[in-house]
Structure 1
Amino acid sequence: MHIDLPEKRYYKIGEVAKAFAVNTSLIRFWEKEFDIIKPKKNAKGNRLFTAEDIKNFKLIFNLVKERGFTLEGAKQKLKQNPEATFHNHELITKLEFVKAELVKIKNQL
Protein backbone atom coordinates (compact mmCIF):
# COMPACT_ATOMS: atom_id res chain seq x y z
CA MET A 1 0.00 0.00 0.00
CA HIS A 2 1.31 3.41 -0.96
CA ILE A 3 0.68 6.16 1.57
CA ASP A 4 0.58 9.65 0.09
CA LEU A 5 1.73 12.08 2.76
CA PRO A 6 3.83 15.21 2.25
CA GLU A 7 7.30 15.32 3.80
CA LYS A 8 6.73 16.95 7.21
CA ARG A 9 8.06 16.70 10.72
CA TYR A 10 4.67 16.03 12.33
CA TYR A 11 1.33 14.78 11.02
CA LYS A 12 -2.08 15.38 12.60
CA ILE A 13 -4.35 12.45 13.32
CA GLY A 14 -6.75 13.48 10.55
CA GLU A 15 -3.96 13.45 7.98
CA VAL A 16 -2.84 10.00 9.08
CA ALA A 17 -6.39 8.63 9.05
CA LYS A 18 -7.04 10.05 5.57
CA ALA A 19 -3.76 8.63 4.22
CA PHE A 20 -4.64 5.14 5.48
CA ALA A 21 -8.36 5.51 4.59
CA VAL A 22 -9.46 4.65 8.13
CA ASN A 23 -11.30 6.47 10.92
CA THR A 24 -9.39 8.51 13.48
CA SER A 25 -10.81 6.22 16.15
CA LEU A 26 -8.85 3.30 14.66
CA ILE A 27 -5.65 5.38 14.81
CA ARG A 28 -6.29 6.14 18.49
CA PHE A 29 -7.14 2.47 19.16
CA TRP A 30 -3.94 1.21 17.53
CA GLU A 31 -1.97 3.80 19.50
CA LYS A 32 -3.30 2.23 22.71
CA GLU A 33 -2.83 -1.36 21.53
CA PHE A 34 0.67 -1.12 20.02
CA ASP A 35 3.40 0.41 22.16
CA ILE A 36 5.62 1.12 19.12
CA ILE A 37 3.38 4.08 18.28
CA LYS A 38 4.24 7.01 20.50
CA PRO A 39 2.82 10.30 19.18
CA LYS A 40 3.80 13.56 20.74
CA LYS A 41 1.03 15.75 22.12
CA ASN A 42 0.91 19.53 21.89
CA ALA A 43 -0.36 21.87 24.62
CA LYS A 44 -3.97 21.22 23.58
CA GLY A 45 -3.45 17.45 23.74
CA ASN A 46 -3.62 16.91 19.97
CA ARG A 47 -1.60 13.96 18.71
CA LEU A 48 1.34 14.73 16.45
CA PHE A 49 2.71 11.70 14.63
CA THR A 50 6.31 11.51 13.39
CA ALA A 51 7.62 9.79 10.27
CA GLU A 52 8.65 6.88 12.52
CA ASP A 53 5.06 6.55 13.74
CA ILE A 54 3.84 6.53 10.12
CA LYS A 55 6.34 3.78 9.31
CA ASN A 56 5.01 1.75 12.25
CA PHE A 57 1.41 2.39 11.16
CA LYS A 58 2.28 1.06 7.71
CA LEU A 59 3.64 -2.10 9.27
CA ILE A 60 0.62 -2.58 11.54
CA PHE A 61 -1.77 -1.81 8.68
CA ASN A 62 -0.02 -4.40 6.52
CA LEU A 63 -0.19 -7.07 9.20
CA VAL A 64 -3.77 -6.44 10.34
CA LYS A 65 -5.64 -5.14 7.30
CA GLU A 66 -3.75 -6.62 4.35
CA ARG A 67 -2.43 -9.92 5.72
CA GLY A 68 -5.34 -10.62 8.09
CA PHE A 69 -3.47 -10.96 11.39
CA THR A 70 -5.43 -10.57 14.61
CA LEU A 71 -4.28 -7.80 16.92
CA GLU A 72 -2.66 -10.35 19.21
CA GLY A 73 -1.01 -12.06 16.24
CA ALA A 74 0.34 -8.74 14.97
CA LYS A 75 1.70 -7.90 18.44
CA GLN A 76 3.47 -11.27 18.65
CA LYS A 77 4.91 -10.89 15.14
CA LEU A 78 6.28 -7.45 16.03
CA LYS A 79 7.77 -8.73 19.31
CA GLN A 80 9.42 -11.79 17.74
CA ASN A 81 11.58 -9.96 15.23
CA PRO A 82 10.53 -6.37 14.52
CA GLU A 83 13.51 -5.56 12.26
CA ALA A 84 12.91 -8.54 9.98
CA THR A 85 9.17 -7.86 9.88
CA PHE A 86 9.75 -4.26 8.84
CA HIS A 87 12.46 -5.22 6.36
CA ASN A 88 10.14 -7.77 4.72
CA HIS A 89 7.38 -5.16 4.52
CA GLU A 90 9.74 -2.68 2.84
CA LEU A 91 10.81 -5.29 0.29
CA ILE A 92 7.22 -6.18 -0.53
CA THR A 93 6.35 -2.50 -0.96
CA LYS A 94 9.27 -1.94 -3.32
CA LEU A 95 8.41 -5.04 -5.34
CA GLU A 96 4.79 -3.93 -5.65
CA PHE A 97 5.99 -0.56 -6.96
CA VAL A 98 8.27 -2.23 -9.52
CA LYS A 99 5.42 -4.50 -10.60
CA ALA A 100 3.11 -1.52 -11.08
CA GLU A 101 5.75 0.26 -13.17
CA LEU A 102 6.26 -2.84 -15.33
CA VAL A 103 2.52 -3.17 -15.87
CA LYS A 104 2.43 0.50 -16.98
CA ILE A 105 5.24 -0.12 -19.45
CA LYS A 106 3.54 -3.25 -20.75
CA ASN A 107 0.28 -1.36 -21.30
CA GLN A 108 2.11 1.36 -23.22
CA LEU A 109 3.57 -1.16 -25.68
Structure 2
Amino acid sequence: MPYKKPNIEKIHFPIGEVAEMLNVAPSVLRYWEKEFSIIKPFKNAKGNRYYTNKDIDNLKLIQYLLKQKGLTIEGAKHYIKNKNESRLDKQVSIISKLNNIKQELIEIKNNLNLLNIRNSNEQKQE
Protein backbone atom coordinates (compact mmCIF):
# COMPACT_ATOMS: atom_id res chain seq x y z
CA MET A 1 0.00 0.00 0.00
CA PRO A 2 1.81 3.18 -1.13
CA TYR A 3 2.00 6.09 1.25
CA LYS A 4 1.47 9.67 0.24
CA LYS A 5 4.41 11.78 1.38
CA PRO A 6 3.53 14.47 3.91
CA ASN A 7 4.33 18.10 3.23
CA ILE A 8 7.79 18.42 4.82
CA GLU A 9 7.32 22.06 5.81
CA LYS A 10 4.28 21.35 7.97
CA ILE A 11 4.69 20.47 11.63
CA HIS A 12 1.16 19.29 12.44
CA PHE A 13 -1.24 17.44 10.17
CA PRO A 14 -5.01 17.24 10.73
CA ILE A 15 -6.57 13.82 11.13
CA GLY A 16 -8.20 13.96 7.69
CA GLU A 17 -4.85 14.49 5.94
CA VAL A 18 -3.18 11.71 7.91
CA ALA A 19 -6.07 9.35 7.21
CA GLU A 20 -5.71 10.14 3.50
CA MET A 21 -1.92 9.60 3.64
CA LEU A 22 -2.41 6.16 5.16
CA ASN A 23 -5.52 5.34 3.15
CA VAL A 24 -7.59 4.61 6.27
CA ALA A 25 -10.67 6.19 7.82
CA PRO A 26 -10.19 8.82 10.55
CA SER A 27 -12.04 6.49 12.93
CA VAL A 28 -9.21 3.96 12.49
CA LEU A 29 -6.68 6.57 13.60
CA ARG A 30 -8.80 7.44 16.64
CA TYR A 31 -9.03 3.73 17.51
CA TRP A 32 -5.29 3.21 17.14
CA GLU A 33 -4.73 6.27 19.34
CA LYS A 34 -6.76 4.59 22.11
CA GLU A 35 -4.92 1.30 21.72
CA PHE A 36 -1.32 2.47 21.26
CA SER A 37 0.30 4.85 23.73
CA ILE A 38 2.95 5.89 21.17
CA ILE A 39 0.30 7.87 19.26
CA LYS A 40 -0.14 11.25 20.94
CA PRO A 41 -1.74 13.79 18.63
CA PHE A 42 -2.02 17.41 19.71
CA LYS A 43 -5.62 18.49 20.28
CA ASN A 44 -6.66 22.10 19.84
CA ALA A 45 -9.33 23.88 21.90
CA LYS A 46 -12.07 22.35 19.74
CA GLY A 47 -10.63 18.85 20.24
CA ASN A 48 -9.39 18.49 16.66
CA ARG A 49 -6.43 16.12 16.39
CA TYR A 50 -3.14 17.16 14.80
CA TYR A 51 -0.35 14.65 14.22
CA THR A 52 3.41 15.23 14.08
CA ASN A 53 5.77 13.48 11.67
CA LYS A 54 6.77 11.18 14.55
CA ASP A 55 3.10 10.26 15.08
CA ILE A 56 2.77 9.55 11.36
CA ASP A 57 5.85 7.31 11.41
CA ASN A 58 4.40 5.43 14.39
CA LEU A 59 1.05 5.10 12.61
CA LYS A 60 2.83 3.69 9.56
CA LEU A 61 4.57 1.16 11.81
CA ILE A 62 1.25 0.17 13.39
CA GLN A 63 -0.38 -0.13 9.98
CA TYR A 64 2.50 -2.29 8.73
CA LEU A 65 2.34 -4.57 11.77
CA LEU A 66 -1.43 -4.98 11.56
CA LYS A 67 -1.97 -5.10 7.80
CA GLN A 68 1.24 -6.46 6.26
CA LYS A 69 2.54 -8.66 9.08
CA GLY A 70 -0.96 -9.68 10.17
CA LEU A 71 -0.37 -9.12 13.87
CA THR A 72 -3.23 -8.61 16.29
CA ILE A 73 -3.51 -5.38 18.29
CA GLU A 74 -1.94 -7.18 21.27
CA GLY A 75 0.80 -8.62 19.06
CA ALA A 76 1.60 -5.18 17.67
CA LYS A 77 1.68 -3.70 21.19
CA HIS A 78 4.09 -6.45 22.27
CA TYR A 79 6.30 -5.85 19.22
CA ILE A 80 6.43 -2.09 19.86
CA LYS A 81 7.16 -2.58 23.58
CA ASN A 82 10.02 -4.97 22.83
CA LYS A 83 11.35 -2.62 20.15
CA ASN A 84 11.44 0.25 22.65
CA GLU A 85 13.15 -1.92 25.31
CA SER A 86 15.68 -3.07 22.73
CA ARG A 87 16.34 0.54 21.75
CA LEU A 88 16.92 1.42 25.42
CA ASP A 89 19.38 -1.47 25.79
CA LYS A 90 21.26 -0.24 22.71
CA GLN A 91 21.37 3.30 24.09
CA VAL A 92 22.78 2.06 27.41
CA SER A 93 25.40 0.05 25.52
CA ILE A 94 26.35 3.03 23.36
CA ILE A 95 26.66 5.30 26.41
CA SER A 96 28.91 2.74 28.10
CA LYS A 97 31.13 2.51 25.01
CA LEU A 98 31.31 6.30 24.77
CA ASN A 99 32.35 6.54 28.42
CA ASN A 100 35.11 3.98 27.79
CA ILE A 101 36.32 5.95 24.78
CA LYS A 102 36.26 9.14 26.85
CA GLN A 103 38.44 7.50 29.51
CA GLU A 104 40.89 6.30 26.87
CA LEU A 105 41.08 9.80 25.39
CA ILE A 106 41.73 11.27 28.84
CA GLU A 107 44.58 8.78 29.34
CA ILE A 108 46.03 9.65 25.92
CA LYS A 109 45.81 13.36 26.74
CA ASN A 110 47.55 12.80 30.09
CA ASN A 111 50.30 10.79 28.38
CA LEU A 112 50.78 13.53 25.80
CA ASN A 113 51.00 16.12 28.56
CA LEU A 114 53.67 14.03 30.32
CA LEU A 115 55.63 13.75 27.07
CA ASN A 116 55.41 17.50 26.55
CA ILE A 117 56.63 18.13 30.10
CA ARG A 118 59.54 15.71 29.61
CA ASN A 119 60.46 17.32 26.30
CA SER A 120 60.27 20.75 27.89
CA ASN A 121 62.50 19.64 30.79
CA GLU A 122 65.01 18.07 28.41
CA GLN A 123 65.19 21.26 26.36
CA LYS A 124 65.79 23.31 29.52
CA GLN A 125 68.66 21.03 30.55
CA GLU A 126 70.41 21.50 27.22
TM bucket, shorter chain: 0.7 to 0.9
Query: RMSD value over aligned CA atoms?
Result: 1.7
**How many residue pairs end up in the alignment?**
85
1:4, distance to aligned residue in structure 2 (A): 1.9
Partner of 1:51: 53
Q: Which amino acid aligns with 1:6?
A: N
Percent of aligned positions with the same letter in both sequences?
A: 49
TM-score of the aligned structures, taking structure 2 as reference length: 0.63
Structure 1: distance between partners of 2:54 and 2:76: 18
Partner of 2:65: 63
Change (3 A) 1:54 1:72: same
TM-score of the aligned structures, taking structure 1 as reference length: 0.72
Q: Deviations over 1:19-77 (max 9, x none)?
A: 11110000000000000000111111100101110010011011001111100000000
1:33 paired with 2:17, answer no
Larger relative contact order (C-alpha < 8 A, sep ≥ 6)? 1
Q: Which amino acid aligns with 1:55?
A: D
- Structure 1 spans left out of the alignment, 5+ residues: 86-109
- Structure 2 spans left out of the alignment, 5+ residues: 88-126
Change (3 A) 1:17 1:58: same
Q: Which amino acid aligns with 2:13?
A: Y
Q: Which amino acid aligns with 1:39?
A: P
Change (3 A) 1:39 1:79: same
Partner of 2:7: 6
1:82, distance to aligned residue in structure 2 (A): 3.0
Partner of 2:21: 19
SS at match of 1:48: strand
